[in-house]
Structure 1
Amino acid sequence: MKSPTIRRWSMIHTWSSLVCTLFLLLLALTGLPLIFHHELEHLLGDAAQLRQMPAGTAHLDLQQLVIEAQKYRPGEVVQYLGFDEDEPNGVLTITAATAGTEPNSSHTFMLDARTGEPVAMPAANGGFMMLMLRLHVDMFAGLPGKLLLAFMGVLFIVAIVSGTVLYAPFMRRLDFATVRHDKSRRLRWLDLHNLIGVVTLAWALTVGVTGVISALSDLVIAAWRNDSLAAMVAPYQDAPPLTERAPATALLSIAERAAPGMRADFIAFPGTRFSSEHHYAVFMKGATHLTSHLLTPVLIDARTLQVTAVGERPWYMDAMGLSQPLHFGDYGGRPMQILWAVLDGLTIIVLGSGLYLWWGKHRRTGEAKA
């Protein structure tokens, strides 16, 4: 007979698992292609393809690229320019109707830094990969969808912890990795469910915690805006609206002098959620693989081009920056991607077997009562 403590843990494990399982199956299935999104984008022809030019061809300055972007998307303004080490001759460009337009209503493309030629990026604006990303991130429901998925992630963590507690006394009766092939099919699946669950324990906790942090990204950014960014732009609180701004030509060199040893990750233009109405914000990153995910904002007066602040990184922004690539296995190249995909597939088996075990037990209980 089960002790009261074990019964409580069993109830916690059962119901936390049941509530979140369908959502987690959705996340696991959509997460598989996202692990290999770079490769799939090239395979599907959705990746930006820059034309071949002689090595060492000079780049246009940033203001020329801004002008080319606005020609390509007339009536829109540039929100962000991003820089990718995998494509040094390309500048990721995001435009929208206004600087404050929310991200899902913006348009993303790449500019050839040598010619200003725009190159379409279908995966960033629609198609299969964007469908997978939106389902995985917010289920096309915006912030409410993200908060719901964050709650499901918390339940997933509870299910993992409670499952570990339940597995400990189970292990005292059987050797580790035992699968009782001579028993009923349900017991064989129970043994496999427990075995795969404990093998994937550390990974599942990692993905669960980083998933919750990523799902709360909008709240994390809002906290940063209300805390760190508000303090940095406080002197401009009563400043008149910006009527004209200096060209973006020298922004990178100005930011590199303000943050030596770092390089630019992206530029947020005035009025976007990563800057203020009066500033360009150049987000600088470190040179190592780890620090390349930790961003330091350099705020530059959009009228005078004077550096007004070099921001400190609050811990919650560092947590978000480190969690998102870890969630998708972007730290260790192809071997880590393959490992993440295998563990993702094993998690799908754990989720499916958990449903099967619950349904079998529920059905037997109903038949016994009948």
Structure 2
Amino acid sequence: MRNRAITAVAWVHKWSSIVCTLALFMLCLTGLPLIFHDEIESFSDSAALQGPASARTGQPLDTVVASALGDYAKAAGQRGVPLFIGFSSDNPLITVTIGPRADAPEADMRLFTYDRATGAAVGEVERGGVMDFLLQLHTDLLLGLPGMLFLGVMAILFVVALLSGLVLYVPFMRRLAFGTLRHDRSARVRNLDQHNLLGVLALGWTLVIGLTGAINAFADPLTAAWRNGELASMVADQDGQTALAPAEYGSIDKAMARAQAALPGQMPQFIGFPGGAWSSARHYAIFFHGDTPLTSHLLTPALVDAASGNLTDVRPMPATMQALMLSKPLHFGDYGGLALKLVWAALTLATLWVLWTGLVLWLGKRR
């Protein structure tokens, strides 16, 4: 590589790294506990629920939703509207989200959990805990969509820094054996060797984390594009019909039976009620997934007319949305149980050291 090209790549690597370093420190530090969010949250569970998975069988969904509406009315002092139903694929826990209206913002939603095997209430999901705060900080810096987009740009810069660092690694390290750490040299050289070695060892993982982080950061625009494009085309022949009032909602169990007949062998992950971000103005949107580590994150929505219970359409989600669904668990190592999460944590610590040695090298050069 010519000297002019090396200089240009070095400039790109330096400034792309510097601009995103502070954000990456925050993301690594908040991401470490989030890797183990399931294990941390399980400590607070009073008892594990026993019985078949709520995604497969249990009390009628209409009964569970009626219980949630009653609990919401007692807790909020007003009547509510069902917004979502969330299922579990390994235990009887089922979650019903209630809000004051169909298009309620997330801050006004309340989540009630039940044992679908018995119909007994488990309790309301409390918001505002430490893990919720860390997730919000990691996701959008507590700033909503602007914060998400900012972190998306930082993730893209991180990927640029990784690729430019790889380009620089080859010419600068060609005279040294792989893994060489020159302990007999100055502190700056030792830091440089550690920075290069850990950086190249963790390169594959950091590229995955950077790319999935960038995709996750654009979740809201991607969802809006799906709703305005694919979802709109699924109900195109019903354009002009007015939004369905909650009093006109038909049986959820009937809608589920119609959807399951169209997608045999798949399990429901969640239901979006009419008027929400994941459905149309008059449909139940029932999202199904498979039962393998990969297909469990690939969703297929079935739209069922909430008034008549008739199946309107079943259509796989587009590639952009499938990439979004796959990137979320991959970003936090949710594919391979605790062993993979430990690997994710070790690589996060290695990335923190790469960031620190890179910052030390830059500050030392300025001095």
TM-score by length of 1: 0.92
Rate the CA distance shift 1:51–1:230 in 2: closer, same or farther, 3 A.
closer
Q: Superposition pairs for residues 8-19 of structure 1, below 5 Å?
A: 8-19=8-19
SS at match of 1:30: helix
Partner of 1:111: 114
Rate the CA distance shift 1:208–1:104 in 2: closer, same or farther, 3 A.
farther
SS at match of 2:252: coil
Q: Is the 8 A contact 1:65 1:116 kept in 2?
A: no
Q: Structure 1 regions of 5+ residues with no counterpart?
A: 364-370
Q: Superposition pairs for residues 32-47 of structure 1, below 5 Å?
A: 32-43=32-43, 45=44, 47=45
Partner of 1:166: 168
> In the alignment, is residue 24 of structure 1 matched against residue 27 of structure 2?
no
Partner of 2:243: 241
Deviation (angstroms), 1:55: 12
Rate the CA distance shift 1:131–1:79 in 2: closer, same or farther, 3 A.
same
Of 257, 273, 282, the match for 2:286: 282
Deviation (angstroms), 1:50: 5.8
> In the alignment, is residue 261 of structure 1 matched against residue 258 of structure 2?
no
Q: Deviations over 1:138-177 (max 9, x none)?
A: 1111111100000000000000001111111112121111
* Separation in 1, partners of 2:47, 2:269: 20
Partner of 2:232: 230
* Separation in 2, partners of 1:104, 1:194: 44
SS at match of 2:174: helix
Q: Is the 8 A contact 2:110 2:124 kept in 1?
A: no
Partner of 1:335: 339
Rate the CA distance shift 1:341–1:309 in 2: closer, same or farther, 3 A.
same
Partner of 2:214: 212
Rate the CA distance shift 1:100–1:116 in 2: closer, same or farther, 3 A.
farther
Q: Is the 8 A contact 1:267 1:280 kept in 2?
A: yes
Q: Superposition pairs for residues 179-190 of structure 1, below 5 Å?
A: 179-190=181-192
Deviation (angstroms), 1:121: 2.9
Q: Is the 8 A contact 2:69 2:81 kept in 1?
A: yes
Letter in 1 for 2:295: T
Please, which moves more after superposition, 240-249 or 223-232?
240-249
Letter in 2 for 1:95: I
SS at match of 2:102: coil
> RMSD of the alignment, in Å?
2.0
* Separation in 1, partners of 2:4, 2:85: 58
Of 297, 300, 303, the match for 2:301: 297
Partner of 2:61: 62
* Separation in 1, partners of 2:99, 2:192: 52
Partner of 2:177: 175
* Separation in 1, partners of 2:46, 2:112: 8
SS at match of 1:160: helix
* Separation in 2, partners of 1:152, 1:54: 43
Partner of 2:310: 306
Q: Structure 2 regions of 5+ residues with no counterpart?
A: 74-78
Rate the CA distance shift 1:53–1:21 in 2: closer, same or farther, 3 A.
closer
> In the alignment, is residue 346 of structure 1 matched against residue 350 of structure 2?
yes
Partner of 2:76: none
Letter in 2 for 1:35: I
Q: Is the 8 A contact 1:48 1:121 kept in 2?
A: no
Rate the CA distance shift 1:332–1:303 in 2: closer, same or farther, 3 A.
same
Q: Superposition pairs for residues 7-156 of structure 1, below 5 Å?
A: 7-43=7-43, 45=44, 47=45, 49=47, 59-74=58-73, 75-87=79-91, 89-113=92-116, 114-122=118-126, 125-156=127-158
Deviation (angstroms), 1:49: 4.5
Matched pairs, number: 356
* Separation in 2, partners of 1:80, 1:48: 25
Q: Is the 8 A contact 1:300 1:307 kept in 2?
A: yes
Q: Is the 8 A contact 1:280 1:302 kept in 2?
A: yes
Q: Is the 8 A contact 1:50 1:112 kept in 2?
A: no
